[in-house]
A and B are shown apart, each in its own frame.
Chain A
């Protein structure tokens, strides 16, 4: 899970793994690793989910965290347009570290759509990344499972 701080990386993992959501913002320091077993096309897949701290001036994502990953999410916060810039930077970091591996772009907080700063034009531009873009809500659970399944499928291809 990659993205700047407070975009909802931890909340997305918690929604997917434990089906819970907390309104309270609790910043991730360091790395939190969760495991989730899923059934996919009659196969059992074990996902090791590395919830990496948000990137900002206080904490930088280290390439060592990315080595060995099979796929990743770039998470943006729809209500904060400036999260795009960090997301794109992290996507480049992954590509420079491990090359092209599957990823999905998540624009989180779709439950707050009326407050979104990320516009349809921005989303059109993000399509240049040539990957799936999914609008999610860790709060309501909208498209969260779909996103994880989509990435898993891409990783298994």
Chain B
């Protein structure tokens, strides 16, 4: 572009946008006194813009750009002024006259805000104290969603924008001014992981969001802050957003994972207890099996002795009827006990997984 030719400047500046009703071009002298007004001034200022007046009287945020000392072309950070969001381009020509193009981008910003709100399901807060930093936030009052917004400059500096949320002001006041990447990393070392991703995202110039995982900061004592960072682009500018997550949003996932892991631990404990129980049951069955096995022989011996006595006619003839009945009854009880012991032995072996089958042939027809 030839900065010496005002016609080219006008063409160039207006070519940036399509809707002339939402644009305003002001030419000033090096001191910032208005020389010419082109476009739709009423759309941008409630007071009537007049030539020969300082442009900073209408737009005080331009104060730092006057008086002009050298020719330059600058895209200013987006500002929120009198309910409008504006993009501005400032071109100073060789005569040190300035051409300032204002473009109303309110609709665009509102749309982005809606998208951000929708994408992230932000909860509106009402307790944020108001602290302005030097530039307005192009995304609006993101502080209401506990978000602090940084503009990333080409020199990799981070400039906080707009109203600073109270949590950030309280815990990280050292970052409420233009900071280098190193300064940012000193406070938030986690960003060391996210910034390379953010850098790749900024290069895409996409105006959507790329978010980090959650990380935790302990700014003081037991205060635990859960944070997430996002990278986004707007009008070819790069932005870093840091959001404080609260009980209503983040920890939903945290609580779910916490519960799931608690259940997993409980399950592991139950499995362990079950294993222990199985072991105890095994020992019990083994004990019963051994004891019942070892009782078999002495019990069988006693039964044999009883049988022997009951078949000894000489002995029986010396006994009274009552004693013979007692002897018979003793033998029957011992046989019942032996059978019961046998059943116990077989049951314990079955529990232990030891089973012996006895095969026998039966004729079903006579």
Residues of A within 8 A of B (CB): 5-6, 25-34, 48, 50, 54, 56, 58-59, 62, 64-65, 67-68, 80, 82, 117
Interface residue from B196, B197, B261 paired with A5 (Cβ < 8 Å):
B261
Is residue B350 contacting chain A, with contact meaning CB distance below 8 A? no
A20 CB to nearest chain B CB (Å): 9
CA distance A51 to B273 in the complex (A): 31
Other than the known A5-B264, A31-B213, A67-B193, what 19 A-B pairs have Cβ atoms closer than 8 Å? A6-B261, A6-B265, A25-B262, A25-B265, A26-B258, A28-B216, A29-B257, A31-B215, A31-B216, A32-B218, A33-B190, A48-B189, A56-B264, A62-B213, A64-B193, A64-B196, A64-B197, A68-B192, A117-B272
Contact A30 B257 (CB under 8 A): no
Q: Does B254 contact A (CB under 8 A)?
A: yes
| A25-B262 Cα distance, complex, nearest whole Å | 8
A29-B254 CB under 8 A given contacts A56-B261, A64-B197, A65-B193: yes
A131 to B226, CA, bound (A): 35
A62 to B215, CA, bound (A): 13
B250 CB contacts on chain A under 8 angstroms: 29
Cα(A32)–Cα(B193), bound, Å? 13
Q: How many Å lie between the Cα of A78 and that of B268 in the bound state?
A: 13
CA of A54 to CA of B265 in the docked complex: distance in angstroms? 13
Residues of chain B with a CB closer than 8 A to A80's CB: 268
Q: Kindly supply a per-residue 1/0 record for chain B positions 196-231, scoring 1 wherever the CB is within 8 Å of any chain A CB and 0 otherwise.
A: 110000000000000001111110000000100000
Interface size on B, residues (CB 8 A): 26
- Chain A residues within an 8 Å CB radius of B214: 29-30
The distance in angstroms between the C-alpha atoms of A82 and B269, with both chains bound, is 13
Q: How far is the CA of A54 from the CA of B254 in the complex (A)?
A: 13
Determine whether B316 belongs to the interface, using a CB cutoff of 8 Å to chain A: no
Q: Does B253 contact A (CB under 8 A)?
A: yes
> Nearest Cβ in chain A — how far from B175, in angstroms?
16
Provide the residues of chain A in CB contact with B262, threshold 8 Å: 25
A-B contact list, 18 entries, CB within 8 Å: A5-B261, A6-B265, A25-B261, A25-B262, A26-B258, A27-B261, A29-B216, A29-B251, A29-B257, A31-B216, A32-B216, A32-B218, A33-B190, A33-B215, A33-B217, A58-B257, A67-B193, A82-B268
Closest chain B residue to A68, Cβ basis: B192
**In the bound complex, do residue B261 and residue A30 qualify as a contact, i.e. CB atoms below 8 Å apart?**
no
Q: Does B260 contact A (CB under 8 A)?
A: yes
A31 near B192 (CB under 8 angstroms)? no
Main secondary structure of the interface of A (DSSP, over half): loop
Instruction: Report Cα–Cα, A48/B268, bound state, in Å.
Output: 33
Contact with A along B245-282 (1 / 0, CB 8 A): 00000110110011011101100100010000000000
B228 nearest CB neighbor, chain A only: A30
Chain B residue numbers with a CB within 8 Å of A28 are: 216
Instruction: Give the shortest distance, in Å, between B319 (CB) and chain A (any CB).
Output: 63
Note all chain B residues with C-beta closer than 8 A to A62.
193, 213
Is the Cβ of A30 less than 8 Å from the Cβ of B193? no
B residues in contact with A27, CB < 8 Å: 254, 257-258, 261
Contact, CB under 8 Å: A34 / B213: no
- Across-interface contacts of B213 in A (CB, < 8 A): 30-31, 62
Query: Once the chains bind, are B218 and A30 in contact (CB under 8 Å)?
Result: no
Complex alpha-carbon distance, A65 and B216, angstroms:
14
For A26, the chain B residues whose CB sits under 8 A away are 258
The 4 closest A-B pairs by CB, nearest first: A30-B214, A32-B216, A29-B254, A31-B215
For residue A35, which residue of chain B has the nearest CB?
B189
Residue of B nearest to A33 (CB): B189
Contacts of B193 in A (CB 8 A): 31, 62, 64-65, 67
Docked Cα-Cα span, A64 to B268, in Å, equals 31
Smallest Cβ distance from A68 to chain B, in angstroms? 6
Rounded to whole Å, the gap between the CB of A133 and the closest CB of chain B is 23
Instruction: Render B124-155 as a binary contact track against A, CB cut-off 8 A, 1 for contact.
Output: 00000000000000000000000000000000
